[in-house]
């Protein structure tokens, strides 16, 4: 991975990274994640071991984008794509950053980033085992945003449109139900770390196969009725002689 940056602030450069569907959050070396969350205005919470941000008095536009550059290609996460909002109006809301610190290292002692589901939900991942490489492409779920309570991010321009959210969800569900009618194998990933979250990534436009059986189901009954009518006419005709 070439770099991680917050707007014009460089967080890391020339670092290692893996894509892991078994990790919910985006995990990075402790020092780098501290710098990243500091640029977001985050405060470390020892109970959750995550960083919290102020979403009660700050506007959404005050949060910067986070950019990952991989093989000179830019992958951007916007604020609602990297914030995890928990709670409700009665208990209160808490907003977490999904960037979690961990000093995991490989056999050579190199620290690396783990691009978990918060990244992979926005970008398709293609694993080419034969050529030992991984590819990414923008997901159809990239622009989907969670519905945000009106008490958060206090400006008129920050409330997410519920209609858009519903349309995106409905579209994904419709495509998922048609998988059985096409020769395309899709997979669902259940996220298991910190926040239970399930996503289904749809990688192709799939059309259902029309059901033609119902179009002919009444023909035998029609034929039988016609036969009975012919017999009745013939009988009356014979009786007239």
CB 3 within 8 A of CB 10: yes
Pick the CATH number of 3-200 from 2.40.70.10, 3.40.718.10, 1.10.730.10, 3.30.450.20: 2.40.70.10
Of the ranges 73-82, 188-197, 217-226, which one carries the lowest mean pLDDT score?
188-197
Burial class (CB within 10 angstroms; exposed 0-12, middle 13-18, buried 19+) of 161: exposed
pLDDT at 219 over 60: no
pTM for the model stands at 0.64
Model confidence pLDDT, tens digit, residues 8-42: 999 999 999 999 999 999 999 999 999 999 999 99
- Ordered alpha helix ranges (H), 53-111: 79-82
What are the extents of the domains in the chain?
Answer: 3-200
Q: What is the mean pLDDT of the chain?
A: 77
> pLDDT of 147-201, one tens digit each?
999 999 997 444 444 433 333 333 333 333 333 333 333 333 333 333 433 333 3
């Amino acid at each position: 991975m070439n770099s991680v940056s917050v707007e014009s602030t460089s967080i890391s450069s020339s670092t290692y990274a893996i894509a892991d569907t078994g990790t919910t959050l985006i995990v990075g070396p402790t020092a780098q994640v501290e710098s990243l969350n500091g640029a977001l205005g985050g405060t470390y919470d020892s109970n959750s071991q995550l960083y919290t941000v102020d979403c009660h008095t700050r506007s959404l536009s005050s949060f910067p984008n986070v950019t990952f550059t991989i093989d000179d290609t830019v992958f951007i996460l916007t604020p609602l794509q990297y914030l995890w909002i928990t709670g409700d109006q009665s208990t209160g809301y808490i907003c977490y950053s999904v960037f979690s610190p961990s000093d995991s290292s490989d056999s050579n002692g190199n620290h690396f980033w783990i691009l978990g589901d918060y990244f992979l939900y926005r970008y398709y991942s293609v694993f080419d085992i034969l050529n030992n490489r991984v590819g990414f492409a923008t997901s159809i779920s990239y622009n989907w945003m969670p519905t945000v309570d009106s008490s958060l991010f206090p400006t008129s321009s920050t409330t997410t449109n519920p209609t858009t959210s519903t349309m995106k969800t409905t579209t994904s569900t419709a495509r998922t139900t048609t998988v059985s009618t096409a020769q395309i194998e899709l997979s669902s990933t259940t996220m298991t770390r910190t926040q239970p979250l399930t996503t289904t990534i749809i990688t192709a436009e799939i059309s259902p196969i029309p059901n033609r059986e119902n179009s002919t189901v009444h023909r035998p009954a029609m034929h039988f009725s016609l036969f009975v009518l012919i017999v009745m006419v013939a009988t009356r005709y014979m009786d007239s002689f």
